[in-house]
Amino acid sequence: MKRILVTGGAGFIGANFVRYQLEHGDEGLVIIDKLTYAGNRASLAGPLQSGRVILIEADIADRTAVDKAFHDYSPVAVINFAAESHVDRSIDDPTPFIDTNIVGTYTLLEATRGYLRQLSTEGRRDFRLLHVSTDEVYGTLGESGLFSETTPYAPNSPYAASKAAADHLVRAWHETYQLPTLITNCSNNYGPYQFPEKLIPLMILNALEGRPLPIYGDGGNIRDWLFVEDHCAGIWRVLHHGRTGEKYNIGGGNERTNLQIVDQLCAGLEALQPAASNEALRRRGLTSYTQLKTFVADRPGHDRRYAIDAAKIRAELGWAPALDFESGLLRTIRWYLENRAWSDTVLAGKYRLERLGEGS
């Protein structure tokens, strides 16, 4: 069986991509994942039983382990999802962001370079390495304009800087060593299996438990939201049809302020699980989810607005999001309501939905 090597496959987007690939592609998958707090076997329960998915618990910065995976499974492609992904955590402690996002990506590039040297001309010709990156590398937008592939990099958080560094390494390995690389820079994802430190799942779980919904600053910061399956479809297209050495922006065209998101979540929850029937709210004498909204101190260095110009991937590769934001958000709320056991499992570690990243 031909196999794709997927790093970070036990995380949010990785686990969704594994499902997407099983449904749409023929290749099997070899996952390398360190299983940090954000990576969970529970997110791969079904796929691991498919007979097409192998999970290796290892660090992408461990050259020996990465070399062994290449040697044992001879992948036809690599997709690098593995990363420390949470901006607030990067403010509290940038170290793992440097280790995984920069040193880990470097190690993966070098291991890939070594592996390609041993491949036949034909194997080398078809091979691709897709590095999954973020729109945060571009910094912040003012009230108008969009991020395009030629927008200069201006990262503002330790997370964004570490992702920008990784993108530069990938670019350099293409230019210098002709590694057949592709980079995707995507906007904010939402959907099933997202670790509940991120805005949308955090607000859903807090609301269900009658806890405050912490809105940073004035709630006016804007993100461009994309349903995770649409991101996976974009990655799949870029992997199969993108031009090596190129980068592709992926975004949903769904700009919303954080306050709009929280209000929409409250409305969605009210429709699917009315506050009147929620024991946790009743105990606190509350009659609606919106009463939980709480403005808190802003995130240090908080980027004001992200918005993607996805014209390149749309025109070159015919990609477009399939799901509108309203349907996607309701689908996501329903998923978290129906999968409380998954949330309980991934929250069994140290993290308990508390505020992160306040800075000093």
Minimum CB separation from ligand NAD for residue 283, in Å? 32
Is 146 a residue that touches ligand DAU (CB under 6 A)?
no
CA–CA gap between residue 314 and residue 187 (Å, rounded): 15
Residues 170-189 as x/- pattern, contact with ligand NAD by CB under 6 A: ----------------x-xx
Residues 184 and 251: beta-carbon distance below 8 Å = no
Residues 79 and 21: beta-carbon distance below 8 Å = no
**Checking DSSP bridges between strand 128-134 and strand 213-216, what pairing results, if any?**
unpaired
Is 305 a residue that touches ligand DAU (CB under 6 A)?
no
Instruction: With H, G, I as helix, E, B as strand and everything else as coil, classify residue 182.
Output: strand
The stretch among 128-136, 166-174, 229-237, 264-272 that binds ligand DAU (CB under 6 A) is: 128-136
What does 82 interact with, of ligand NAD, ligand DAU, none (CB < 5 to 8 A by kind)? ligand NAD
Is 256 a residue that touches ligand DAU (CB under 6 A)?
no
Is 134 a residue that touches ligand NAD (CB under 6 A)?
yes
Is 194 a residue that touches ligand DAU (CB under 6 A)?
no
What order of strands is seen across the sheet that includes strand 247-250?
53-57, 28-33, 3-7, 77-80, 128-134, 181-186, 247-250
Residues of span 28-57 touching ligand DAU by CB under 6 A: none
Which residues have a catalytic role annotated?
135-136, 159
DSSP tally for the chain: helices H, then strands E = 15, 13
Based on its alpha-carbon atoms, the radius of gyration of the chain, rounded to whole angstroms, reads 20
CA–CA gap between residue 326 and residue 151 (Å, rounded): 29
The contact set with ligand DAU (CB under 6 A) reads 85-88, 134-136, 187-188, 198-199, 202, 214-216, 221, 223, 258, 299, 306
Binding site for ligand NAD (CB under 6 A): 7-8, 10-14, 32-36, 38-39, 59-61, 81-85, 100, 104, 132, 134, 163, 186, 188-189, 195
